[in-house]
Structure 1
Amino acid sequence: MTKHLLSIGHGLSARTLTPSLIAEGWTVTGTTRSPEKAARVVESGATPMIWPGEDLAGAIAKADAVLISSGPSADGCPVLNAATDALKENASRLEWVGYLSTTGVYGDFQGGWVDEDTPADPATRRGKWRKEAEDNWLALTESHGLPVHIFRLAGIYGPGRGAIAKVLNGTARRIIKKDQVFSRTHVDDIAQVLMASMVKPNPGRIYNVCDHDPAPPQDVLAEAARLLGRDLPPEEDFETADMTPMARTFYATSKRVRNDRIINELGVKLKYPDYKSCLKALVS
């Protein structure tokens, strides 16, 4: 029997996952906010659905699994705001629900290590919104048995984004902040983590999705420039660099994120275990 995934907010991670699901016999519906963006949904192999607009509750009632990529705001998670009743009504029938969150919920550890058992302490407004959304999704697991899984994504590599894209389009800046380090993940590895979880559901579980090699951002840009044969972007001191408030928030926290759980529990073998292998593949 064909299984069906409803992908709400059909972004890069969901579009990357879709062909793997289709190869396994799934069908996918992906929501988008406008008819103009529907072509990207179709290109991934999914059927587009305009939301807000079309009947989200009806779509949930027809799905075997739901993936939520839509981000929260000060008003909360838009999917929960629109469809909590439908999710409760279908909780015992749905096989898997995945919520894409961020490692930003951990807050600042000054370069120290965190794992899924580390108490989340968001340091930014957006991080606090994410943590509240996580809590509200997990509350549905506790109260109604909704099979929710939380995926805390590190910074995403992928075609057209990340260090390679910045070096190619001339926007790369080597912002230097003492002891600053980030974890990252390739979008293909996000897709295989989601697939592994769908095969082996564990409702209420939280997973960090990242590679094995946290690194300072300037080192990643330097490697990208080297691989592309481009000049090394000049260094800029964080304290005096001209940056937007949004850009500065990315430097507000520093941590190294452990990924043992996706390896040991889900059996995932990362395609891109470190930034050097990832950048080399993107250049190729």
Structure 2
Amino acid sequence: MTVLIAGCGDLGTEAGLRFAAAGFSVLGWRRSPEKIPAPIQAQAADLRGELPRIPGDTDVVVIAVAASERTEAAYRAAYVDGTANVLNALERDGGRPRRILFVSSTAVYGDAGGGWLDEDSPTDPASVTGAVIREAEELLHSRRPDAIVLRLAGIYGPGRTRLIDQVRAGISNPGPGQLTNRIHRDDAAAAIVHLTTAVADPAPLYLGVDDEPVELAQVLEFLSGELGVPLDPAPADQGQRRASRGGNRRLSNARLHGTGFDFSYPTFREGYRAVLAGDGVRHA
């Protein structure tokens, strides 16, 4: 059986390697196929254009696109047009994979005033890019109602060290009030494999977030302690300004847990300690 990773970037590659380790033949589509490691079979493909033929034994398709820039046009080309093109290619080649999974984003939700949201909560994107991603979800389910949408929160992990870099640079503590929902890259990839191979009757939608929504200030303070780098105090009104922005919400992973999925990094603490140990970032 073949797994097709349509958009084999960092997350798609990690998922592809896990599929390969489970015994699948994995085909990865990417504009720069030389960046795809073995044992994934790399193939040049631009999801915005004409796509290669899809193997007849393709059992799982993972659509994991990424926009080239944060504009409506770039997001529409990647998420809406790219998803439609993959579905068109499946129809062209007579493909009927058992599972299709689309990697989405929790950016489709709005501000919840610090409250809890789950898969049944209404979407209310605060940005045009979030609205485009929601449009892509709707397109997918209109054509494949049995497809799985996995809405991922902020991904961190190997090579994704923005907060670590900011702490090292002496970023100011944002103060209380700004919530963040996160997931380690490896857990996100593991969830993709789990939902497409280990769940007999998956739901159409899952939230990919770890066990602990947390204030950004707590994450920065934790990293400050791990790195031995003090944080500058926040201006008196900074926490209030940050808290007023969209996205102040706590996201539940109960549905994902209910499938039997276990997180390797259930909170940011375990995840960032692994990043610090594995990315060559050492305590000061």
SS at match of 1:123: coil
Match of 2:116 among 113, 116, 128: 113
SS at match of 1:94: coil
- How far did residue 234 of structure 1 move? 4.5
- How far did residue 155 of structure 1 move? 0.5
Cα distance 1:171–1:231, how it changes in 2: closer, same or farther (>3 A)? Answer: closer
Per-residue Cα deviation, 1:223-256 (whole angstroms, up to 9, x for no partner): 1121112222553554999xxxxxx9x9532110
Provide the residue aligned with 1:64 in structure 2.
59
CA distance in 1, matches of 2:125, 2:251: 14
CA distance in 2, matches of 1:174, 1:74: 35
Cα distance 1:201–1:172, how it changes in 2: closer, same or farther (>3 A)? Answer: farther
SS at match of 2:129: helix
CA distance in 1, matches of 2:203, 2:90: 15
CA distance in 1, matches of 2:211, 2:109: 18
Deviates more, 1:197-206 or 1:123-132: 197-206
Match of 1:260 among 254, 261, 270: 254
- How far did residue 95 of structure 1 move? 1.2
Cα distance 1:263–1:83, how it changes in 2: closer, same or farther (>3 A)? Answer: closer
Deviates more, 1:71-80 or 1:119-128: 71-80
Match of 1:133 among 131, 136, 141: 136
Match of 2:272 among 254, 274, 279: 279
CA distance in 2, matches of 1:201, 1:163: 37
Cα distance 1:92–1:16, how it changes in 2: closer, same or farther (>3 A)? Answer: closer
Q: How does 1:49-198 map to 2 (within 5 A)?
A: 49-52=43-46, 56=51, 58-59=53-54, 61=56, 63-71=58-66, 73-75=75-77, 77-88=80-91, 93-142=96-145, 147-162=146-161, 165-167=164-166, 170=169, 172-176=171-175, 179-198=177-196
Cα distance 1:171–1:95, how it changes in 2: closer, same or farther (>3 A)? Answer: farther
Deviates more, 1:152-161 or 1:22-31: 22-31
Contact 2:56 2:95 in 1 (8 A): no
Provide the residue aligned with 2:208 in structure 1.
209
SS at match of 1:262: helix
Provide the residue aligned with 2:225 in structure 1.
226
CA distance in 2, matches of 1:269, 1:57: 35
- How far did residue 85 of structure 1 move? 2.8
Q: Percent identity?
A: 27
Q: Does 1:20 align with 2:18?
A: yes
Cα distance 1:179–1:197, how it changes in 2: closer, same or farther (>3 A)? Answer: same
Cα distance 1:119–1:90, how it changes in 2: closer, same or farther (>3 A)? Answer: farther
Cα distance 1:117–1:15, how it changes in 2: closer, same or farther (>3 A)? Answer: same
Contact 1:9 1:68 in 2 (8 A): yes
The aligned amino acid for 2:250 is R
Number of equivalenced pairs: 266
The aligned amino acid for 2:223 is A
Contact 1:164 1:279 in 2 (8 A): no
Cα distance 1:173–1:160, how it changes in 2: closer, same or farther (>3 A)? Answer: farther
Q: If the length of structure 2 is used for normalisation, what is the TM-score?
A: 0.82
- How far did residue 68 of structure 1 move? 0.7
- How far did residue 258 of structure 1 move? 0.2
Provide the residue aligned with 1:245 in structure 2.
none
- How far did residue 125 of structure 1 move? 0.7
Cα distance 1:222–1:275, how it changes in 2: closer, same or farther (>3 A)? Answer: same
The aligned amino acid for 2:40 is A
Q: Which runs of 5+ in 1 are unaligned?
A: 242-247
